[in-house]
Structure 1
Amino acid sequence: MSTSMLRLVWVYPDLLSTYGDRGNLLILSHRAESRGILTESVMVRSDQALPRQADIYLIGGGEDGPQSLAAEKLIADGAVAEAADAGRVVFAVCAGYQILGTSFIASDRECAGLGLLDMRSDRGPSRAVGELAGPVNPALGLPTLTGFENHGGRTHLGPETAALANVSHGIGNDGSTEGAFRGKVVGTYLHGPALARNPALADLLLAWAVGRAPEELPPLDDRWAQQLRQERIAALV
């Protein structure tokens, strides 16, 4: 961690914050503090400079106009790219996920991304809306990914970026894979919010941020979260 307190940065909530994505910030703070890890949550608007010293940067979803503006500002600001290069945790959802790649389509034009993940996004033949689920990449050691997607894009991964999960239900990146990660940079199309539906993923991000293995974090009572997960996964069968 950068200090004795875990610093969480919610990036540009005035531009990128749809479908409950702020819940990811709340989940991380709650799960950290339930284990005695103090947190500081910092919400940074698009007219403000992002802090250079933080432990986890969170980017949410948004519409085309705010997405392209956010990408321009993030490229100019440079803090998220610097954080990724320094091994800090970056977690992005939907439009924010697309921004992590090399390029994406917004308002029918190609826009430059941050280039933190080897991938590009374009428009799909139809909008992907509904439940999304599938087995997570074995390298991460996580249970089934589950959540809600609502996007018109399709994302194509390059050789230097691994898929977060394979798709058993829904569309995700392309009907075959969902999300992507490289180092401690993770992106997904999942709303829900993603970390409420996937507490093990939240704990992985926390473990990375505090420099521990996930199994070294004290266990929490996740009975309600697991019940929600099982209900949603069972509904897809």
Structure 2
Amino acid sequence: MSVLRILHLYPRELGINGDAGNVLALAERARWRGVEAEVVTHAPGGELPTSVDIVHIGSGPLSSQRAVAGDVARIAPQLRQWRDAGVPILAIAGGWQLLGTEIVTPEGETLAGAGVFPTRAVLGSRRHVAEVVVTTRDGLTLAGFENHSATTTLQGGEPLGTVVSGFGNGDRTEGVVIGSAIGTHLHGPVLPMNPVLADRMLQTAVRGELPPVSQTERVDRYATNARRAIADRLSVSL
């Protein structure tokens, strides 16, 4: 691979809670290892690149979701094709909802999703705003911050993990995994806070092992301390 191409969908509309930091983390962690990285952004009405190695979509309010919903429907076939080809996808909160099957608003309106994830989000009147700790099936402990009003039902795939503290999907699970695609409510942003997820996405994208380098060791200590601080505040153990 000569250049790692990271596609950032709707950074202007869906960019709250620092989710753009996920893209920065991916690009920098690749560059530290000698992999050239290029970030390509996509706005409503634009054309997608012919090929990408990673896709990211952040979160935003319902007004922003409505603003991009038509374009999401337009590019949905290509997004599903990339998912089926094993391209890593990271979708955060409102962006994840848009890439699910549908969003039901508090007024009963239904917005059709892209069908990348087999998930359905029902937005309520109560917001879930809190720090979160999640354990994954393979023993990782993830930490972050949630800020959403959705109860999310999985109609396929597997949860990203089990909620130790927080709301998550609403049934003690958090997120969804289908192939190399991840949907999650975790902000933080999630990849700088949990760099093992970033490295797993990069490893899948470059189809090889990632060598450790001094820069990752240093910033990973900061991430470990940040997760530990959240766990301490929530009185849970890492």
Q: Secondary structure at the residue paired with 1:235?
A: helix
Q: Hey, what's the Cα distance between the residues in 2 that align with 1:190 and 1:13?
A: 17
From 136, 141, 146, the counterpart of 1:144: 141
Structure 2: unaligned runs, 5 residues or longer = none
Aligned to 1:76: 74
Q: Secondary structure at the match of 2:175?
A: strand
1:208 and 2:204 aligned: yes
For 2:145, the aligned partner's letter is F
Q: 1:68 touches 1:106 (CA, 8 Å); kept in 2?
A: no
Structure 1 stretch 14-23 or stretch 45-54: which is displaced more? Answer: 45-54
CA separation in 2, counterparts of 1:74 and 1:209?
Answer: 23
Unmatched 5+ stretches in structure 1: none
In structure 2, what is the Cα distance between the partners aligned to 1:43 and 1:106?
Answer: 28
**TM-score normalised to structure 1 length:** 0.91
| 2:44 counterpart residue number | 46
1:177 alignment partner AA: T
Give me the identity figure in percent: 38
Aligned-pair distance for 1:41? Answer: 0.8
Letter in 2 for 1:110: T
Give the corresponding residue for 1:94: 93
State yes or no: 1:34 paired with 2:32.
Answer: yes
> What TM-score do you get using the length of structure 2 for normalisation?
0.90
Q: CA RMSD in A?
A: 1.5
CA distance in 1, matches of 2:71, 2:54: 19
How many pairs align?
228
Is the CA contact (8 Å cut-off) linking 1:65 and 1:106 kept in structure 2? Answer: no
Contact 1:15 1:46 (C-alpha < 8 Å) held by counterparts: no
Contact 2:142/2:227 (<8 A) preserved? no
For 1:232 and 1:203, the matched residues in 2 are separated by: 22
* Offset of residue 85 of structure 1: 2.3
Could you give the per-residue CA deviations for residues 145-167 of structure 1, whole angstroms, max 9, x where no partner exists?
A: 11000001110112x21000100
In structure 2, C-alpha distance between the alignment counterparts of 1:87 and 1:9, rounded to whole Å: 15
Runs of 4+ in 1 over 4 A off after TM superposition: none
- Superposed displacement of residue 218, structure 1: 1.4
Deviations, residues 63-113 of structure 1 (Å, cap 9, x unaligned): 112213323212212332221122211110010111221111247311111
Q: Helix, strand or coil: the match of 1:148? A: strand
User: Is the partner of 2:48 in helix, strand or coil?
Assistant: coil
What SS class does the counterpart of residue 152 from structure 1 fall into? strand
Going from structure 1 to structure 2, the CA distance change for 1:175 and 1:129 (only over 3 Å counts) comes to farther
Q: Deviations over 1:159-195 (max 9, x none)?
A: x210001001010111410100100111100111111
Which residue number in structure 2 is paired with residue 191 of structure 1? 187
